[in-house]
Amino acid sequence: MIEDNYRQRGLRNKLVKKLRQKGILDEAILSAMGKVPRHVFFDEALLSHAYEDKAFPIGEGQTISQPYTVAFQTGKLSVKPGDKVLEIGTGSGYQACILLELGARLYTIEYNRKLFEKVRDFLPAMGYRPYFFHGDGSRGIPAKAPFDKIVVTAGAPVVPVALTDQLAENGVLVIPVGNREKQTMVRLTKRSLTTLLLCLCWEKADGRVRSRYLFF
């Protein structure tokens, strides 16, 4: 049984307050962040850090993303109830839960076999039931395309063409692009089969998010 006590709910509420202070103002996203018990994704040794706004290791060389990053990226995705969403990189399953709380019909793919098997069993026990897939996320899931929204949880050097090909018209892809030292959150909107609207989003030293839009 998953424990979610008064103290943990209180810490989660404090995290939501911090996210609001950092500029996350979408009430649906804040509500989702306030519902999903992040501590259940942590090993016992790191449990006391579950509601810090930081990324932490989850094994297999992977991390559970910083809550602000999850909220910011999810906000750029603009998920509506009923949207068919593809998540590249299931990881711990935390962001999948947030997307499901927002009403997404979620397809999630994970490359690491151990993480895939762990999350495939764990999330349904929490009451979350996305469609699970194991494989190379950069190829997407062509058999299930098109998708209204695609989110990539880990950085990539370029935007995989296979993913833009699997977007529905007016579909949105959000992906961090760059190297280990520097990444830019990219939002692509597929206006037609031949036109993409590119939004580059980055955070300045003052904490404000800047954006630039390009058509190609």
Q: How far apart are CA 88 and CA 110, in angstroms?
A: 7
pLDDT tens digit sequence for 58-114: 888 889 999 999 999 999 999 999 999 999 999 999 999 999 999 999 999 999 999
Q: What is the 3-state secondary structure (H, E, C) of 178-198?
A: ECCCCEEEEEEEECCCCCEEE
The strand pairing partners of 109, in sequence order, are 88, 133
How wide is the angle at C-alpha 142 spanned by C-alphas 65 and 71, nearest 5°? 20
pLDDT digits (tens, 9 = 90+) for 143-202: 999 999 999 998 888 899 999 999 999 999 999 998 877 888 889 999 866 556 666 554
Is 92 noted as a catalytic residue in this protein? no
Question: Which residues are bridge partners to 176 per DSSP?
Answer: 185
Q: What is the dihedral of CA 87, 93, 95, 98, to 10 degrees?
A: 110
Residue type, 6: Y
Catalytic hit among 65, 78, 192, 211: 65
- Give the C-alpha separation, 154 to 214, whole Å: 23
